Copies of this chain bind each other. A is one copy, B any other.
Amino acid sequence: MLTKLVANADEAIRDISDGAVIMLGGFGLCGIPENCIAALVRKGVKDLTCISNNAGVDDFGIGIMLKTRQVKKMISSYVGENAEFERQLLSGELEVELIPQGTLATRCLATGYGMPAIFTPAGVGTEVAEGKEIREFNGKPYLLEHAFDSDFSIVKAWKGDTHGNLIFRATSRNFNPLMAMAGKITIAEVEILVEAGELDPDQIHTPGIFVNRIFEGRNYEKRIEQVTTSLKA
């Protein structure tokens, strides 16, 4: 029998140790693996390298791990929502690699697709290109960007089954299916866990082959960064 099911976040992250390179799904606070982040804080594992589009806010998401100084290095595309992050960065406490969002996404894809590197025009002529190989195709320059090499990927899905199949909801999909493909070990926390066979095979976003551990998370807060609303007429 497939044994992907784990009891909870603590069991799921049991072997993540100091110095690990981990990917964390989500865009802003949308679609982040809340349960696993809380478990990583409980475990107190440190010197982490985190690959994630954003770094959370001061008191939520990856921001919590920054407060507890568990993160040695962040690889992100945008970190504008986090004052503690900016402080640690400017003081040199935190190592930061900022890369274009499409490059981040596509480097995850490359890992999952077994492609060692990809070419992208993003960043040509900028700081991002420093030290990187540039190559022209049809007269247009591209940067060579390498696939990521991470120890763990931690993603959050809406629904999942005991075979590890995942379905995401709305824009909480974002980086989650990409990172799910890119981890040596992929951990998925889901809002709703069902038995294999209950999900429509045509609607699965991440096939279970990419997922090593899965559990149903608890008490999702799903905090919103900017509540913007329309008035009813």
Which residues in A have some Cβ–Cβ distance to B below 8 Å? 106, 109, 113-121, 137-138, 140, 142, 146, 167-170, 173, 201-203
Contact = CB atoms under 8 A, between A and B. Distances in A.
Contacts of A146: 137
A173 B203 CA distance: 12
B168 A202 contact: yes
Given A114-B121, A173-B202, A202-B203, 6 more contacts: A106-B113, A106-B115, A115-B120, A116-B138, A137-B146, A169-B202
Contacts of A113: 106, 109
A74 B201 CA distance: 32
Which of A169, A170, A173, A203 gathers the greatest number of chain B CB atoms within 10 Å? A203
A137 B111 CA distance: 13
Contacts of A201: 170
A203 B200 CA distance: 10
Closest 9 CB pairs of A and B: A116-B137, A203-B203, A116-B119, A115-B118, A115-B119, A117-B119, A116-B142, A169-B202, A117-B137
